[in-house]
Amino acid sequence: MKIRVKLFAQFRKNRFKEKEIEVSEDTSVSDILKLLEIDEKEAGIIFVNGRHFENKPVLENGDQVSIFPVVGGG
């Protein structure tokens, strides 16, 4: 199945801004993070289809995953 992944800020470095990727039917958001070598602790906000990720167990064909890093500041 195909999903679209959008990366933001430093996650784009040496990766991509937006890309459609082919994954297996049982792929989860955690699997996408592992595939992209992004530590789950570094992923601050994750949206699936424009909605805050609420531990959706398995992605579906055509889903869009947006991954934002943790933001710090003062």
Q: How many domains does the chain have?
A: 1
**Which CATH number does the domain housing residue 49 bear?**
3.10.20.30
The whole-angstrom separation of Cα 8 and Cα 67 is 6
The predicted pLDDT at position 73 comes to: 60
Confidence tier at 69 by pLDDT (50, 70, 90): very high
Q: Is 50 within a domain? A: yes
Alpha-carbon distances of 25 from 6, 12, 18, 58, 69, rounded to whole Å: 19, 25, 21, 8, 26
Q: How many residues does the chain have?
A: 74
Write out pLDDT tens, residues 12-68. Answer: 999 999 999 999 999 999 999 999 999 989 998 999 999 887 766 789 999 999 999
The residue segments making up the domain with residue 48 are 2-69
Bridge partners (DSSP) of residue 5 are 19, 65
DSSP notation for 34-56: HHTT--GGGEEEEEETTEE----
